[in-house]
Structure 1
Amino acid sequence: MAKFVLLVGVLFGMTAVVAGAFEHAVRKMIIEDTTGAAEVAGDELSDPAPNAEAAKRLSQYETGVKYQMYHGLAMIALGLVMAFSSRGQVLGLITCLALVVGVKLFSGTLYLISAFGMTHLVMLVPIGGTIMILGWILFLITVLLFDPLIDKEDLETT
């Protein structure tokens, strides 16, 4: 189970990097959508957004990428806790699933809202955030259940 959680964490991290790399294309889509211009002058990532709506949507996209990366790293840490513990395996897997669902609802919805203007999905963002908080509570319980596979006494020679 620990290997599965590690794999999910690595995949989340990888796809967060991919989403970040697509920011240039998404930025162009957002600016075209909010300004109506087919050509975007000075569309460098460092250029300021041409209007408040574009700035808001770009910020939402970046928030989605950040939270996906943070939770990918958290799942890697969770997988390591599970790999070195004799307890909490099932709870660790449930924690991973809660984080996956939470991130998909939170970050995934932010991606759709920002890139495609699907504002009717906005109510999924706080649901995803709530599920992520639940995942962190479950992570805390998993850590509290941590029982090392090898005790210090086992390492000492007599």
Structure 2
Amino acid sequence: MSQLALISGTIFGLLSVVFGAFGAHILKKKLNVAQLQSFETGVKYQMYHAIVLLILGFEFQNSATMNAYIIYSFILGTILFSFSIYGLVLSSANHKKLRFLGPITPLGGLFLIIGWMLLLIKLINF
């Protein structure tokens, strides 16, 4: 389980740097201010949770069920939250907004909240 957290955290971190540069240099010319801010929100949340996954990957040395739930929640939440924002912003910039992604963003946020709540419960019971 710790290897999944480390690999996912590394991939998310790598992609957040790539997407951040893409947004700052290429999309800056194509997006309006609100769209650019939304894109940056996706990048920030992706990086925050990349760092969390790396820390958890180094910390969680056993494969307890709670650890798995925390890691899966952060991975799924990051994918659903950040990547749906990217899809919404990019499709909106091309005037073909993928509206089905709208409800996916808060679902991703919910998984991130669940991951944080589970981590809190784990720490309280530690």
TM-score normalized by the length of structure 1:
0.68
Query: Residue 123 of structure 2 aligns with which residue?
Result: 143
Query: Residue 16 of structure 2 aligns with which residue?
Result: 16
Residue type of the partner of 2:81?
A: F
Q: Quick one: percent identity of the two aligned structures?
A: 34
Preserved contact between residue 57 and residue 113 of structure 1 (Cα < 8 Å): no
Query: Residue 64 of structure 2 aligns with which residue?
Result: 89
Residue type of the partner of 2:123?
A: V
Unpaired stretches in structure 2, ≥5 consecutive residues:
none
Q: Does 1:123 align with 2:103?
A: yes
How many residues end up aligned between the 2 structures? Answer: 120
The 1-side partners of 2:22 and 2:13 are apart by 14
The structure where helix makes up a greater share of residues is 2
Q: Secondary structure of the equivalent of 1:65?
A: helix
Picking from 43, 61, 82, the partner of 1:107 is: 82
TM-score normalized by the length of structure 2:
0.84
- Which protein is bigger by CA-based radius of gyration? 1
Picking from 42, 46, 59, the partner of 1:64 is: 42
Unpaired stretches in structure 1, ≥5 consecutive residues:
31-53, 147-158
1:10, distance to aligned residue in structure 2 (A): 1.4
Residue type of the partner of 1:130?
A: L
Residue type of the partner of 2:27?
A: V
Picking from 55, 79, 87, the partner of 2:33 is: 55
Residues 19 and 133 (structure 1 numbering): CA distance in 2 closer, same or farther, change over 3 Å?
same
The 2-side partners of 1:129 and 1:137 are apart by 12
Task: List, as ranges, runs of 4+ consecutive aligned residues in structure 1 with deviation greater than 6 Å.
Answer: none
